[in-house]
């Protein structure tokens, strides 16, 4: 019997071919380099979830870094079934997003994210992120998880602090958190929401990463990972912790250039392939 393994990487924006505010080429290459270094591993690549039901059979490990694309209909059903059968999914950054709609609020046009079926499959829903900032990430060492091996208990990052709502908190093993009492997004920045469901009961903690069992399979989601170039940037401002005048860096690779995130990704690839035959 063959012991060959296969990973499927989805990295891209919406509409198809768009960077959607991210340096997709950089992120795709970084992830391919980590996957490509594994002996005996075949890797397939896509820009979005279109026809994912054709690619999941025979796939052991799914990795996604997207801004806009999301699975729906037959594709989402196939992803749910694949997870339940033992698949492992590393979902990064904008994977918790999806579709936004325009609304009018206080006489202004704003954007609001819409909960969809894929958020229940993934286990979380993206509300918003404040401007790029420096903040501290805490590692939930209690109980342990292979993805956290060798990480310091705390480390500083420069990134978008994703505000995510856990869709299945009772079944979610929290891996990474940070503290933020209130969303500091200035008026007109990012997305609006009706209720801040990303804030945990202690009134200050936000989940940045978690693991969640789905049948015989597992999802690991990590909200970190923004990157852009001058050509792909859509940020209008940054926090003073990045630049005193709020000027957006023309090139930003943030956590991708840190030891902690590098370790996390290496661990995640090892975890994702560990259950494969």
Query: Is pLDDT at 243 greater than 70 in this prediction?
Result: yes
Q: 104 pLDDT band (50/70/90 cuts)? A: confident
Reading across the β-sheet that carries 154-159, which strands appear in turn? 41-46, 5-13, 61-67, 88-92, 217-222, 205-214, 172-179, 133-139, 154-159
Average pLDDT of the residues in 157-176:
96
pLDDT of residue 207: 98
The pLDDT score that the predictor gives to residue 39 is 82
As a whole-number percent, the residues of the chain with pLDDT over 90 amount to 90
Q: How many CB atoms lie within 10 A of CB 181?
A: 11
Average pLDDT for 152-163: 97
- Please check whether residue 216 is in contact with residue 84, taking contact to mean a CB–CB distance below 8 angstroms: yes
pLDDT digits (tens, 9 = 90+) for 7-20: 999 999 999 989 99
pLDDT value of residue 106: 79
Burial class (CB in 10 A: 0-12, 13-18, 19+), 61: buried
Specify the range with the lowest mean pLDDT, choosing from 15-19, 27-31, 113-117: 15-19
Query: Mean pLDDT over residues 244-251, rounded?
Result: 95
When the pLDDT of each residue in the chain is averaged and rounded to a whole number, the result is 94
pLDDT number for residue 171: 93
So what's the pLDDT on residue 187? 87
pLDDT at 143: 66
pLDDT at 1 over 50: no
Average of per-residue pLDDT across 106-128: 94
pLDDT tier, 276 (very low <50, low <70, confident <90, very high otherwise): low
Which among 233, 226, 166 is positioned nearest to 201, based on CA atoms? 166
Q: How far apart are CA 110 and CA 116, in angstroms?
A: 19
**Averaged pLDDT, 202-218:** 97
The percent of residues in the chain predicted with pLDDT above 70, rounded, is 97
Domain count for the chain, please give it: 1
Contact between 164 and 126 (Cβ < 8 Å): yes
Closest CA to 214 of 126, 94, 88, 124: 88
Residue 56: DSSP 8-state: S
CATH of the domain at 146: 3.40.50.880
Cα distances from 200 to residues 76, 81, 114, 193, in angstroms, run 28, 30, 21, 16
Domain assignment of residue 161, given as a range: 5-274
63-99 pLDDT, tens per residue?
A: 999 999 999 999 999 999 999 999 999 999 999 999 9
15 prior amide bond cis, ω within 30: yes
Does residue 203 have a pLDDT over 60? yes
């Amino acid at each position: 019997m063959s012991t060959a393994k296969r990973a499927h990487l989805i990295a891209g924006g919406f509409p198809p071919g768009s960077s959607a505010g991210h340096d997709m080429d950089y992120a795709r290459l970084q992830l391919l380099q980590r996957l490509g270094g594994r002996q005996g591993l075949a890797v397939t690549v896509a820009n979005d979830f279109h026809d994912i039901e054709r690619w999941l059979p025979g796939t052991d490990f799914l990795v996604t870094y997207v801004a806009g694309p999301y699975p729906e209909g037959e594709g989402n059903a196939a992803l749910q079934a694949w997870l339940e059968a033992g698949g492992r999914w590393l979902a990064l950054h904008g994977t918790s997003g999806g579709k936004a709609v325009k609304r009018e609020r206080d006489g202004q046009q704003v954007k609001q994210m819409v909960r969809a079926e894929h958020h229940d499959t993934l286990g979380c829903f993206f509300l918003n992120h404040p401007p790029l900032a420096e903040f501290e990430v805490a590692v939930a060492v209690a109980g342990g998880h292979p993805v956290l091996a060798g990480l310091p208990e705390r480390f500083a990052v420069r990134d978008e602090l994703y505000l995510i709502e856990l869709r299945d908190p009772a079944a979610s093993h929290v891996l990474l958190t940070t503290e933020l009492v209130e969303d500091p997004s200035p008026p007109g920045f990012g997305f609006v929401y009706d209720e801040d469901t990303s804030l945990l009961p202690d009134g200050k903690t936000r989940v940045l990463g978690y693991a969640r069992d789905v049948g015989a399979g597992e999802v690991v989601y990590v909200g970190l990972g923004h990157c852009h170039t001058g050509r792909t940037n859509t940020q209008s401002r940054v926090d003073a912790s990045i630049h005193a005048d709020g000027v957006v860096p023309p090139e930003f690779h943030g956590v991708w250039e840190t030891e902690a995130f590098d370790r996390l990704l290496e661990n995640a690839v090892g975890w994702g392939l560990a259950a494969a035959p």
